[in-house]
Amino acid sequence: MRSAIHDVLPAGLRRSLSKFGHDLGVARRKRHLTMGMMAERTGLAKSTYARIEKGDPAVAMGAYAMALFVLGFGEAFRDLTDVRRDEDGLLLDEERLPKRVRIKKLPTSL
C-alpha cells in the first residue's frame, strides 16, 4: 500500500529526495559498498535501503540518518536546521523586537 505522503509531496521536494537518494547511492559505490552491506550496517532490510536510494519519502527519517552515518556524513542532521544559520528565523526575531523599551514604574508606597 502506498503512503499518502506520495500524493501530497510537492514535485520539487520529490525531485530533491530523488537526487538525495541518488547521491547516497553514488557515495555508497565510491566506498565500494554493496546494497547488502549498507542494509546490514544500517540495520535495515535490503528492500528498505533500496527505497532510500530511490528517494522514497515514506522511508523513516531515522533510516536516512543511519545511511548518512554509515557513509560518514553523520554530522549532516546536526547542522541542517542550526538556529544560527536560519536566516528567515533570525529576520523574524528581529522584526518582533519592540521599537522601544519602557521600564514599568514601581508603585510608590505611603
**pLDDT tens column, 49-82:** 999 999 999 999 999 999 999 999 988 888 888 8
Q: Please report whether residue 107 resides in a domain.
A: no
Cβ neighbours for 5, distance < 8 A, ≥ 6 positions apart: 57, 58
Number of domains into which the chain is organized: 1
Q: Please report whether residue 59 resides in a domain.
A: yes
As a residue count, the chain comes to 110
The torsion angles phi and psi of 80, rounded to 5 degrees, stand at -60, -45
Q: What is the CATH number of the domain that holds 23?
A: 1.10.260.40
pLDDT tens, position by position, 23-58? 999 999 999 999 999 999 999 999 999 999 999 999
Q: Please report whether residue 48 resides in a domain.
A: yes
Instruction: Record the pTM.
Output: 0.76
Q: Please report whether residue 106 resides in a domain.
A: no
Domain range enclosing 14: 5-95
Q: Please report whether residue 105 resides in a domain.
A: no
Q: Please report whether residue 33 resides in a domain.
A: yes
d(Cα 70, Cα 66) in Å, to the nearest integer? 6
Q: Are 58 and 48 in contact (CB under 8 A)?
A: no
Q: Are 17 and 55 in contact (CB under 8 A)?
A: yes
